[in-house]
Every structure is written in C-alpha cells, then in structure tokens.
Amino acid sequence: MTEEVKLTVLASLFTWIQRIRPSARKRSKFRKFLDTFCKPSDYFSAMRLILPSLDRERGTYGLKESVLALCLIDALGMARDSPDALRLINWRKGGANTGANAGNFALVASEVLQRRQGTASGGLTIKELNDLLDRLASAENRAEKTAILSTLINKTNAQEMKWVIMIILKDLKLGISEKSIFQEFHPDAEDLFNVTCDLKLVCEKLRDRSQRHKRQDIEVGKAVRPQLAMRVRDPVAAWKKLHGKEVVVECKFDGDRIQIHKNGIEIRYYSRNFLDHYEYGHGMSNVIAQNILVDRCILDGEMLVWDSTSNRFAEFGVSITLDYGLDVAFDVLYVGDTSVIHQSLKERHELLKKVVKPLKGRLEILVPNGGLNSHCPPGEPCWSSLAHSVNDVERFFKETIENRDEGIVIKDLSSKWEPSDRSGKWLKLKPDYIRAGSDLDVLVIGGYYGSGRRGGEVAQFLVGLADRQDPNAYPRRFLSFCRVGTGLTDDELETVAKKLKPYFRKYEYPKKMQPSFYQVTNHSKERPDVWIESPEKSIILSITSDIRTIQSEVFAAPYSLRFPRIDRVRYDKPWHECLDVQSFVELVHSSNGT
Ligand code: ATP
C-alpha cells in the first residue's frame, strides 16, 4: 500500500529530485518511486503530495507564510520575541538574522527546526500525513492548526518537516515541471487533468501506463483549465504572429478569470486555478439563472468587483454597491449538451450572443459589434473590436492604456478554445510595469485642489523630474512627471500643503501658462490648479510606484507611473538634489534588464 510508505522515503525522493540534473534523471527517479513504493490502486495518496497545488480534495489550509510562522512559533513553544521566532516572522528579510535562506520560508523554518528536532526519522507514514493534512485543512482556528502542526513536528525530523511545510505552502520547488511529472505518470494524464481539473480522477483512471485513455471532452460541472494568452512585446509582434488571420482585439479586464457552469438550477463558479468560488456565486446566481437562456452551459470570462478606492468598477465606471460583482463573458465553451470548444471563436461569439441576455452592469458579453460595444457612446473607448491592420491594434492599445486599463488581448477568430494552451491563439499586450527598486525623490511643482473635506485646499501634487543639462549647476528645468496624492496621513499632507501655500500661484491669465521652469507636454491638458512659483521654494517627496514603461502622453517625462504613492516627505533633501530624467531613464532600463 502506498499509504504505508514512510514520509522519509518521499522526503528523500524530493531531496534527490531537487538536486539531480538533468530533467530526464529527475523523471526517472520519480518513475522508480512510483514503481517501487506505490500501488496503482492508491497512486493518489502520493500524487497529491507531489503536486499539492493541483489537489482539490481538501480545502485550503488558510496558512500563508505569515500565519504559518506564528503557528509554528506556538507549536514549538517559542517566545514571540526570541531570535528564532523573529527569524520566522522576518523570513523574507536577508541579513545576519536569517542568513542565506532568506526569502524561502521552508528553508528558514528548517534552520529553526534543526535546532529543535532530532535527526532520526519520526516514522510518519503517507497515510498519517494525509490524515493530518485533512485535519489541518478543516481546522477552524489557529489554536487547532497549531495543535496539528505540533503533532506533525513530533512525528518528523527537520528534513521531513521542511517538506511538510512546502506541501502546506503548495510549492515544492523541485525544479521539475508539472508537465514532466504528468508525462512520466501516464501519457494521457495531462490531457485528462486539463479537462477535469481532478487529480484524484486522473490517478484512478490512469493506473496503467501502457493503456491509452480516449481523449475526453469537457463537461458541465467539471472545471476546465483555461485557455491562456501568450505575451507579446508590441502591436507589430502581435500582428506578425497572427498574420493573415481574422483578428479581434479586446480590452484586458483587470479582474479575475471566472468559469461559470450552469447545469439546470445548479450554478458553479471556478477560478483560474479551478477553485470553487462559493462566496462569489452568492451574489450572481439569480442573474445567471435568469440571463443564461439555455439549461446547460459553460461561460468563460472575467469577474470584476467594486473597487472602493477608485469608486468604480475596474473598467466600467458603473456605480453599484460593494456586494455586487460583474461578469464579462468573453467566451462560451459548452451549450446544451455539446462542447463547443472545437468551433471557431467567431462561431462561439455568435453562440454567446444567443445564449446570454446581457444585463447591464451585472452580466455583459464581449463580442465585436455587440454586447458591450453597443453601450459605448461615440468617442468613448470600446471593449472589443475587429482589427484589420496593425494600426487598428495600435490604436486600440493606446486607447485602452489611456483609459488606465490593464492592456489588451488579441485573438485569432478562427481558433478553437484549448484547455491550458498558451501557444498564441490569444496574445496579450500590456504596458510593461516594473517596480522601481528604490524610492523616487521628486520635486513638487504644482498642486491640485481637493474636494469635499479638502475642498479649496491643495490635496494632490504634480511632481517633476529635473532636466540636468550641466551636472555642476543647479537644474533650471523640470519635467512634469505624475500626479500623486495618496500615502501621507492627513496631518502630514496638511503640513506639506501649508509649507508650500505661500508659493502656490495660479497662472490663469491670459492663458493657462506655467512658470518657465516647468515643462509639460504640448498635447496634454494636464495642468495643476496651482504652480509653485519657483523650484527653489519647493519640497522633495519620496514616491514609490510601478513604472509604466510606455511613452507618457500626459506628462512631459518619458515614462509615467502606475499607482504612485508618497512614501515620505524629504525635508532633509534640498530641492536641487531631486531625481533627474537622465538617472530615471537609466533606472528604468536597468530594472528592465533584470
Ligand atoms: P495575467 O496576470 O496577465 O492576467 P495570467 O497568467 O493570469 O496573466 P494569461 O492567460 O496570461 O493569464 O492572460 C489572460 C488573462 O487575462 C485571463 O486569464 C483573464 O483572467 C484575463 N482577461 C481579461 N480580459 C480578458 C479578455 N478579454 N480575454 C481573455 N482574457 C482576459
């Protein structure tokens, strides 16, 4: 019985696979393990530990690293402020405390465990481990979880416990792909998993490697691994890739992938990682029941939720209260009693129009010349459109980006929908966002009045970068860079605004000109309400952000920022030491290369 196999055997398999190269040797080690230690009738008990991220039989543990750290500290009876407890809590940080293992929770934990656990194997079997993991997943509170972890610690040594922790975190870092493991297990395993997302079923049906399994189609009620999009660099690359095809360009919505399965009155929702979305279903089921016009159907789409910070849905600006979600169905995979994934996207769009009755703001369909498009007032961006040339793609991309959306998806209208495929039937094009490694120290050059509570007072700032022509002289020109308002407390913001107030000037008449030190773009209407009369009166703000590596249309600097936040006010730094455009461009390029 596989289940009687000791965890120590599995732990050494993992250690071996992790160490040896190349991949073929890793695979044969795995095969040998299956042949020597596992009974085909219960492959699943081992496979769920080898591919923990694909196991849907037990729920989630609710143990991300930070909570797991606290549970382990309690399970080991350590004081919260002891050096080892701090090591676990600060597992991400490098430095003297955590050493070379920083950033890898399981390794940091095993370092701590080594000092407390013996080296002799604890003798735990695979069955016992699975039982304890079941209990861990159903434990209701932290105390229960801690008690189960404590049992696990008592029955393992540090090496074994390290792998248990990796199983709990669902990432074994073995350096072997899930694809290779599936292939080694059975030649049809990956295909079957892709259309069922059911590891147990795969293990039960495919016990004999020499017996091929007939290709299975998708079914209502079983999650399917989603069709994915290949990333492309720019519109030209996209156009080249889909050369000669009929192409649709769609907005890439910034929500979560959702698969909706309607089977009579039963409606289920699956996430990108084929998890059941119970809580989401709660708000949508009536809408789905009434607006999907067939009895059985699978829709593929994106779900969006209300974004309370920007007070709008990610994409639509439809104001509906917090509890509601919006589904945008961009594909249909099953209608009546037939899978339609083998039909072309163009045909599936026609089906989508027949199957779904759109309900504004709750359930929308994304098809060219219909669905969401029909809601687009003239001049407003559209969400889906046919593209006849690379210019069409380019234009659509630009419009989408200006609208602050995530990017676009470009699809081959003649393509089938294929589970887990990323071969290029769908392409995604996003502006490149890179995280600035350090804070950016930028100069306030203007201000925007707030509304409501902050009405009449400057509540946001226009910040600029220096254009440093001569490294030995103070900069005399500043390029508008971005608008920033969040990050400071009300008090901090008020202090900055108060300090700058005497220097704020409205330059309204005769034209909306600005002081000659500041440069903005010609085609942009982006002007602050007030300007700082001259740069030497101003203050440096340290901001953090993702950098959007596309040409900025709105501000004068060559790149713009995404979600900038003020980190702190640099009262200590003189105005002329603010970041300059040249250094910023270098920073963007060097981060791009990593
Ligand atoms: P990303 O983080 O870029 O979303 P990903 O790996 O989750 O990447 P990809 O297949 O690379 O997924 O990108 C496609 C994803 O984009 C889909 O999973 C879906 O959630 C989302 N999406 C948003 N709008 C669309 C659309 N119109 N068509 C297809 N996918 C869309």
pLDDT digits (tens, 9 = 90+) for 57-84: 998 899 999 999 999 999 999 999 999 9
Q: Which of 155, 162, 252, 425 is catalytic?
A: 252
Which atom of ligand 1 has the smallest separation from the CA of 252?
24
User: What dihedral do alpha carbons 149, 152, 157, 159 form, nearest 10°?
Assistant: -70
Greater confidence, 592 or 358? 358
Distance CA 313, CA 325 (A): 9
Low-confidence winner among 328-337, 479-488, 503-512 (lowest mean pLDDT): 503-512
Return the beta strands (E) in 414-571 as ranges: 426-429, 433-435, 440-449, 458-467, 477-484, 504-505, 518-519, 530-532, 540-551, 559-570
Residue 49 is predicted with a pLDDT of 98
CA of 229 from ligand 1 middle (Å) equals 6
Q: How confident is the model at residue 508 (pLDDT cuts 50, 70, 90)?
A: low
CB 70, CB 151: distance < 8 Å: no
Distance CA 329, CA 259 (A): 9
In which band, very low, low, confident or very high, does the pLDDT at 573 lie, cut at 50, 70 and 90? confident
Given a cut of 50, is residue 505 above it in pLDDT? Answer: yes
Rounded distance between C-alpha atoms, residue 421 and residue 410, angstroms: 15
Calculate mean pLDDT across residues 466-474.
84
The pLDDT value given to residue 398: 81
Atom in ligand 1 nearest the alpha carbon of residue 426: 29
CB 552 within 8 A of CB 480: no
- Taking the C-alpha atoms of residue 293 and residue 234, their distance in angstroms, rounded to an integer, is 39
List residues near ligand 1 (CB under 6 A): 226, 228-229, 250, 252-253, 257, 272, 302, 330, 366, 409, 428
Nearest to 156 by CA among 305, 41, 7, 329: 7
**What is 331-380 written as a DSSP string?**
EEEEETTEE-TTS-HHHHHHHHHHHB--BTTTEEE--TTSGGGGG--TTS
pLDDT at 315: 43
What is the set of domains in the chain, with CATH numbers? 2-168 (1.10.3260.10), 230-429 (3.30.470.30), 435-592 (2.40.50.140)
Please check the confidence at residue 590 and state whether its pLDDT lies above 70: no
Nearest CA to ligand 1 atom 13: 229
- What pLDDT, on the 0 to 100 scale, is given for residue 313? 53
Distance from C-alpha of 463 to C-alpha of 485, rounded to nearest angstrom: 10
Better pLDDT: 524 or 540:
540
Q: How far is the CA of 17 from the centre of ligand 1 (A)?
A: 32
Tokens representing 303 are 């779900």
- At 334-358, the pLDDT tens digits run 999 999 999 999 999 999 999 999 9
Q: What residue type is assigned to position 453 of the chain?
A: R
Residue 117 per-residue DSSP state: S
pLDDT band for position 284 (cuts 50, 70, 90): confident
Q: Ligand 1 test: best mutation among 224, 257, 304, most atoms within 8 Å of CB?
A: 257
Protein residue closest via CA to atom 12 of ligand 1: 228
Q: What is the mean pLDDT of residues 549-561?
A: 62
Report the percentage of the chain scoring pLDDT > 90: 58
pLDDT(20) > 80: yes
Three-state secondary structure along 384-425?
EEEECCHHHHHHHHHHHHHCCCCCEEEEECCCCCCCCCCCCC
- Residue 82 near residue 72 (C-beta atoms within 8 A): no
Ligand 1 atom closest to Cα of residue 428: 13
Could you give the CA distance from residue 199 to residue 206 in angstroms, rounded to a whole number?
A: 11
Q: Is-catalytic flag, 252?
A: yes
Per-residue pLDDT at 94: 52
Rounded-to-5 percentages of helix, strand, coil across the chain: 35, 25, 40
How much is the pLDDT for 278?
65
Q: Please choose, from the candidates 239, 354, 224, the residue with its C-alpha nearest in 3D space to the C-alpha of residue 300.
A: 224
Distance 242 CA to ligand 1 centre (A): 18
Mean pLDDT of 167-196: 95
Give CA–CA dist 247/346, Å, rounded.
10
Query: What does the pLDDT read at residue 469?
Result: 83
Average pLDDT of the chain? 86
Give 252 Cα–ligand 1 centroid separation in angstroms: 7
DSSP string of 271-331, one letter each residue: -TT--B-HHHHHHHHHHHHHHB-SSEEEEEEEEEEEETTTTEETTT-----TT-EEEEEEE
Residue 16 structure tokens: 């071996």
Contact 30, 148 (CB under 8 A): no
**Distance from Cα 244 to the centre of ligand 1, integer Å:** 24
Between CA 208 and CA 34 the distance in angstroms is 12
Q: 123 C-alpha vs ligand 1 centroid, how far in Å?
A: 45
Could you tell which of 224, 251, 316, 428 is best to mutate to test the pocket of ligand 1, judged by most ligand atoms within 8 Å of the CB? 428
Predicted ipTM of the assembly: 0.97
Q: For the CA atoms of 56, 61, 65, 67, what is the dihedral angle to 10 degrees?
A: 160
Nearest CA to ligand 1 atom 26: 252
> Do the Cβ atoms of 342 and 416 come closer than 8 Å?
yes
pLDDT for 58 equals 92
β-bridge mates for residue 270, sequence order: 259, 276
Pocket test for ligand 1, best of 228, 231, 332 (most atoms within 8 A of CB): 228
Q: What is the whole-number distance in angstroms between the Cα of residue 543 and the centre of ligand 1?
A: 29
pLDDT in tens, 107-150: 999 999 999 988 888 899 999 999 999 999 999 999 999 999 99
* Minimum-distance ligand 1 atom for the alpha carbon of 251: 27
